[in-house]
Amino acid sequence: MNRSEAVIAAQRHFDSGQFQETLARRIAIPTESQNPERAPILATYLENEMRPAFEAMGFSCQIMSHPKARAPFLFAQRIEDPSLPTVFGYGHGDVIRGLEREWKEPLSPWLLTESDGRWYGRGIADNKGQHSVNMEAMRTVLQTRGKLGFNAKYLIEMGEETGSQGLRELCEANKELFSADLLIASDGPRLSAERPTVFLGSRGSVNFDLSIEARAGGHHSGNWGGLISNPGIQLAHAIASIVSPTGQIRIPEWVPAELPASVRRALADCEVDGGADGPQIEPWWGEPGLSPAERVFGWCSFEVLAYKTGNPETPVNAIPARAWARCQLRFVVGIDPANVLPALRRHLDRQGFPMVKLAQNREGLFQATRIDPDDAWVQWAVASIAQTSGKKPAVLPNLGGSLPNDIFTDVLGLRTVWVPHSYPGCSQHAPNEHLPPAVLREGLAVMTGLYWDMGAGDTPKHAQTKAHS
């Protein structure tokens, strides 16, 4: 059988309903890693779902753990010939809390339901649907060709939604076992539902708290107004000094010196589209002179995630004693994360806000990563996806959000090519998480073509081997 027949076989499998049955079974397993009561179920997903699926494809499997990890990992590998390219795959089987009571009737997070042309269920977008697509594509190549034609290693973790604790240490301890030529994985959204997308890294993220503790307690606003400072007002002014009224960052250390030419080229034809359910882009917000795609994929952004002063639920006539805000900086390659808070400290002191305290939230720390869009492996993957889909893929130098991608790039030394099978309006992490089945179907075809091409003997790995022979 040839490439086209393999892609058609994958589409037929999807159209038969078998893929939907597999996905429904996986979604029915409530793998909420944020819920301590679900801890035993995390291992169940690996043992009852992942291990049998990989072993049926001739993979050897082992359950792995690390003292810093709250949940187990499954590592599967199939080595056909050490001289062949080796692909490292990654996915996570844990999901965010189900939030059962907040889903619209008659939906349930643990029941795959088709409604209004969409498939609903917790994890369909993040990440059960996505790694299920990749696993099925790999199975299709094996079934049609009789072999992969490359070596495959796959890691499924069950603690991504709680910060991937222990993942870095596990990779550091198993560098040789996990060694590969590149990572091909799926997470996050496409640029739009209709356009296949490749992203090559992720923006970094650091969450931190700003607070002012003015005094022990509140005081009557009539008796003391105009005599004592109001920390709510002071903190608002401090935050306003960080960004302009239109969201432009005012701390030089928080923005890159320039936007690389390769990044500009890659983003030149990328149009950000959240779909019918997404918010409207406000062109006046953010860094001036940049396109929407450049602002979210090539630049940095500062956000206030929460703000509290006084008693919002039951306001009283008192000047509050304290104010607090949870803030976040999303940053790209070129920003030193170790200098984010020191730069902010210097800025606030210069602006007359020495009373503002800074505290970093360690759970919100991710490093920024970006693979060069001109890299040979990237161009190879883009060409494969274009051939299968008949569309020009969007190439994003990095995801607008954050992933622990630096573990794969810096610890394992891998090039990282992410091929997402979701879209911006999927309600990931919210009630009514869903995907259009057309996105999953096209993703299955695209990945089947990609894995087929990986084993066809014409990759950058083969080119390098020929050049040195």
Quote the tokens at residue 383.
């060409």
244 found inside a domain: yes
Residues with Cβ < 8 Å from 444, sequence gap 6 or more? 10, 11, 13, 14, 19, 133, 136, 137, 140
* Dihedral class, residue 25 (left if φ above 0, else alpha if ψ from -120 to 50, else beta): alpha
Q: Which of 365, 393, 420 is the last residue of a domain?
A: 365
Q: Assess whether 9 and 43 both reside in one domain.
A: yes
Contact 237, 353 (CB under 8 A): yes
Would you say residue 342 has pLDDT above 80? yes
Q: Assess whether 69 and 52 both reside in one domain.
A: yes
346 found inside a domain: yes
291 found inside a domain: no
Q: Which of 316, 338, 365 is the last residue of a domain?
A: 365
Would you say residue 411 has pLDDT above 60? yes
Integer Cα distance of 401 and 398 in angstroms? 8
pLDDT, residue 362, reads 73
Q: Assess whether 166 and 234 both reside in one domain.
A: no
Would you say residue 379 has pLDDT above 60? yes
Integer Cα distance of 180 and 174 in angstroms? 12
Q: Assess whether 308 and 380 both reside in one domain.
A: no
pLDDT above 90: percentage of residues in the chain: 93
Residue 213 lies in domain: 204-256+300-365
Contact 305, 207 (CB under 8 A): yes
389 found inside a domain: yes
Would you say residue 100 has pLDDT above 60? yes
Mean pLDDT, residues 108-115 taken together: 97
Q: Assess whether 146 and 79 both reside in one domain.
A: yes
Integer Cα distance of 398 and 200 in angstroms? 5
CATH number, residue 38: 3.40.630.10
Integer Cα distance of 347 and 253 in angstroms? 10
Would you say residue 469 has pLDDT above 80? no
Contact 126, 433 (CB under 8 A): yes
CA distances from 211 to 63, 142, 160, 238, 307 (A): 43, 57, 29, 10, 10
Q: Assess whether 82 and 198 both reside in one domain.
A: yes
pLDDT, residue 34, reads 94
Residue in the block written with tokens 């040979």: 376
Q: Assess whether 213 and 183 both reside in one domain.
A: no
Q: Assess whether 158 and 52 both reside in one domain.
A: yes
* Dihedral class, residue 342 (left if φ above 0, else alpha if ψ from -120 to 50, else beta): alpha
Q: Assess whether 37 and 133 both reside in one domain.
A: yes
278 found inside a domain: no
Q: Give the total number of structural domains in the chain.
A: 2
Q: Assess whether 357 and 243 both reside in one domain.
A: yes
246 found inside a domain: yes
247 found inside a domain: yes
Q: Assess whether 137 and 212 both reside in one domain.
A: no
pLDDT, residue 248, reads 98
Q: Which of 365, 386, 420 is the last residue of a domain?
A: 365
CATH number, residue 321: 3.30.70.360
pLDDT, residue 465, reads 66
* Dihedral class, residue 227 (left if φ above 0, else alpha if ψ from -120 to 50, else beta): alpha
Q: Assess whether 326 and 212 both reside in one domain.
A: yes
> Strands, E, within 71-215: which ranges?
73-78, 86-92, 113-115, 118-120, 151-157, 182-185, 197-199, 201-202, 204-213
287 found inside a domain: no
Q: Mean pLDDT across the chain, nearest whole number?
A: 95
pLDDT, residue 1, reads 78
